[in-house]
């Protein structure tokens, strides 16, 4: 009886650990350098009105993640395999786009890590990017990589929230006005919503937590309530971090400090943190940006390489680990060879992944409507399907309208 009791406790602990790791893998993958740069830029441009953009993006993110996590859990399949089972060869197209989008994002993440170490300790951004990428390679080469990644994601996720909260208290933002504008906006800027949705659930980010749960065996109808709850908590963590970052920068803007967002090498978040706390603010920004970047390097590499399964059915965990290391190394080499300014690269990375989002979401929403056979006959919630269709239409429209602008970002 005692053995049965202890095994039940161990099962519950493992289940909880799997859910927490999926939540933070998704959240820290979303909270990358692009996320920080975009949030700072739009806060400076729109002031308190950007609060509504954040709220709208959280609602859209919620619908996207709920649909994708739910379908992956119910079908017990990798996303590219799900797509292939629904529309022949679409899984290969999705996999290529996710891997390429993940590579672009990872180049931006390594660039962000370089910027972070530059602000933290004054290291040249190229050297900072190289050291950070090599650290990620070391983590993936470890035999205990899986558990270490889980702990790292949780630790750095909490660190970013705590440090940004510290800056909020130092910058004294107009919280009441911000909350009012969040719910009753005086101005709605659709371009800002488009950009931050792409940077929060675009490309590989949509699948990060779902594939982590798949790897951990947290799938099937019996786990659907846990999966749904984990998806919601992941979005809450991302939304909380974005709103705290928004308040931190808003306090600086509201105090009358001018922040440059238009010059070639502008780094608005860095300027805001330095204005709030001087030299300490700059170092804190560096640490937050580096933590956001290194966790995003790991998240992008891990999730992108879960999409190589359709091309090699018999791939082992060790082989996938090796492929992940090569993926990071290729990202680093391209970053070191490119002459593009890191900030513009970060904006492009988020935008490109925003273009990938509607394709995968369309397939997943279609499965919810028409392919109950792939989900053991599960009765998919109609409210989630209807909201999924609306978000699908919005993301296609936003992607089509912004494609030219996104590729111009690299010039």
Please write the tens of the pLDDT for every residue from 290-333.
Answer: 988 898 898 889 889 989 988 887 888 888 889 999 999 999 99
> 153: closest CA among 228, 211, 208?
208
CA–CA dist 369, 83 (Å, integer): 14
Region 183-201 average pLDDT:
76
Q: Which residue has the higher pLDDT, 231 or 406?
A: 231
> 297: closest CA among 320, 322, 323, 331?
331
Q: Is 85 within the bounds of a domain?
A: yes
Q: Where in the sequence is the domain holding 107, given as residue range(s)?
A: 17-410
Q: Is 10 within the bounds of a domain?
A: no
pLDDT, tens digit, for every residue of 325-364? 999 999 999 989 886 656 666 666 666 767 778 888 899 9
Q: Is 9 within the bounds of a domain?
A: no
CATH number of the domain bearing residue 176: 1.20.1740.10
State the first-to-last Cα distance of the chain, in angstroms, to the nearest integer: 68
Q: What is the pTM of this model?
A: 0.84
Q: Is 111 within the bounds of a domain?
A: yes
Q: Is 4 within the bounds of a domain?
A: no
**391 Cβ contact partners less than 8 Å away, ≥ 6 residues apart:** 60, 63, 64, 361
CA separation, residue 271 to residues 49, 195, 258, 278 (Å) = 21, 21, 9, 9
Q: How many domains does the chain have?
A: 1
Question: Could you give the dihedral angle defined by the CA atoms of residues 190, 192, 198 and 199, in that order, rounded to the nearest 10 degrees?
Answer: -170
Residue 152 has a pLDDT of 79
Q: Is 7 within the bounds of a domain?
A: no
């Amino acid at each position: 009886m005692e053995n049965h009791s202890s095994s039940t406790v161990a099962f519950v602990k493992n289940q909880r650990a799997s859910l927490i790791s999926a939540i933070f893998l998704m959240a820290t993958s979303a909270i990358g350098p692009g996320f920080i740069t975009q949030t700072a830029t739009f806060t400076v441009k729109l002031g308190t009105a950007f609060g509504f953009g954040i709220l709208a993006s959280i609602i859209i993110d919620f619908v996207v993640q709920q649909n994708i996590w739910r379908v992956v859990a119910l079908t017990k399949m990798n996303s590219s395999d799900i797509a292939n089972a629904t529309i022949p060869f679409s899984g290969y197209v999705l996999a290529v786009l996710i891997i390429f989008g993940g590579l672009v994002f990872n180049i931006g993440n390594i660039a962000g890590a370089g910027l972070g170490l530059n602000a933290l300790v004054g290291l040249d951004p190229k050297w900072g990017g190289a050291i950070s990428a090599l650290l990620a390679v070391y983590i993936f080469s470890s035999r205990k990589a899986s558990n270490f990644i889980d702990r790292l994601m949780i630790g750095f996720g909490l660190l970013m929230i705590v440090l940004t909260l510290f800056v909020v208290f130092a910058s004294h933002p107009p919280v009441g006005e911000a909350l009012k504008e969040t719910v009753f906006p005086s101005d709605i800027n659709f371009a800002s919503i488009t950009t931050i949705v792409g940077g929060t659930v675009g490309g590989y980010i949509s699948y990060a937590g779902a594939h982590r749960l798949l790897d951990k065996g947290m799938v099937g109808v019996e786990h659907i309530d846990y999966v749904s709850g984990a998806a919601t908590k992941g979005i809450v963590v991302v939304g909380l971090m974005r709103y705290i970052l928004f308040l931190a920068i808003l306090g600086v803007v509201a105090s009358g400090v001018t922040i440059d967002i238009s010059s070639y090498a502008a780094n608005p978040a860095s300027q805001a943190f330095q204005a709030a706390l001087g030299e300490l603010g700059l170092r804190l920004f560096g640490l937050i940006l580096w933590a956001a970047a290194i966790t995003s390097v790991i998240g992008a590499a891990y999730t992108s390489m879960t999409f190589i399964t359709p091309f090699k059915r018999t791939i082992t965990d060790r082989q996938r680990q090796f492929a992940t290391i090569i993926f990071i190394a290729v990202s680093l080499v391209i970053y070191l060879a490119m002459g593009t300014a890191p900030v513009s690269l970060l904006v492009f990375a988020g935008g490109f992944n925003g273009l990938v989002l509607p394709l995968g979401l369309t397939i997943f929403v279609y499965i919810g409507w028409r392919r109950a056979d792939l989900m053991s006959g599960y009765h998919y919630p109609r409210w989630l399907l209807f909201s999924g269709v609306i978000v699908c239409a919005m993301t296609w429209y936003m992607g089509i309208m912004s494609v030219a602008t996104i590729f111009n970002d690299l010039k």
